[in-house]
Amino acid sequence: MAAHYYTVTWDQLHRDARALAWRLMGQGPFRGIVAVSRGGLIPAAIVARELECRFVESVSVETYDEETRGEPVITKPPTAAGDGTGFLVVDDLVDSGATLRAVRGVLPRAHYACIYAKPAGRGAVETFVTEVSQDTWILFPWDTEPQFVAPLARRGA
C-alpha cells in the first residue's frame, strides 16, 4: 500500500492537462497523439483539443492489477503512429517508467509527456507538469466517487 494518497478532482485534472498542453506548445507541431490506455485517454483528449491535433491513436499497456505492479505488456500496439516520428505520447502518470519504456520500444522517435511524474520515472518523459513523491498513490477522478462524509462533531472526533 502507498504511504500517501493524493486525490485529483476532474477540475484539477483538466487544469493540469491544459498546463501540460501549454508546456508542449513549443515542442510541436505534432502529427498525432498516442494516448496510453487507460490513464492517458482523458489527458490525451484534453491535450489534443488544446493543441488542435485531430489524429489520436492509442496504445494499450497492462501493468497494474489494482495496486500491484507487474511487467508491462502491450496488448494493443499503436500501429498508425509508425516509429513515433512527429507523435506525442501522453499518459496520466509516470511511476517507475516501466510502462513508457515499453511504449518507447515500439515508438522510439516520439515525444513523451505526462501530467504527474514520480522521481523514479522522470527520466522516461521529456515533459511533465507536477512531481509527486514516490510513495504517493494518485487517486484519479475515474477511480473515485464523491460521497457524503459526516461532520467531525458527529463522528466523535
Could you tell me the CATH number of the domain that includes residue 124? 3.40.50.2020
Q: Give the model's pLDDT for residue 2.
A: 66
**For the chain, how many structural domains are there in total?**
1
Edge-to-edge strand ranges of the sheet holding 68-76:
68-76, 56-65, 32-37, 87-94, 111-117, 127-131
Active-site annotation holds for 11: no
**Would you say the C-alpha torsion 138, 23, 113, 80 has a positive or negative sign?**
positive
Q: What is the pLDDT of residue 155?
A: 79
User: Which listed residue (11, 16, 83, 91) is catalytic?
Assistant: 91
Does residue 156 form part of some domain? no
Picking from 150, 137, 146, 157, the residue whose alpha carbon sits closest to that of residue 9 is 146
How confident is the model at residue 66, as a pLDDT?
64
Largest Cα span, the chain: 60
Q: What is the domain range of residue 95?
A: 4-145
Query: Residue 135 catalytic?
Result: no
C-alpha cell at 33: 497523439
**What distance lies between CA 38 and its chain's CA centroid?**
9
> Is 108 within 8 Å of 135 (Cβ atoms)?
no
Report if residue 117 sits inside a domain: yes
Q: What is the pLDDT along the chain (157 residues), one digit of tens a residue?
A: 568 999 999 999 999 999 999 999 999 899 999 999 999 999 999 999 999 999 999 999 998 666 677 789 999 999 999 999 999 999 999 999 999 999 999 999 999 999 999 999 999 999 999 999 999 999 999 998 888 888 988 877 5
- Catalytic hit among 11, 16, 65, 92: 92
pLDDT in the model for residue 117: 98
Per-residue confidence (pLDDT) for residue 149, from 0 to 100: 83
- Residue 152 located in a structural domain: no
Residue 153 is assigned to a structural domain of this protein: no
Whether residue 121 lies inside any domain: the answer is yes
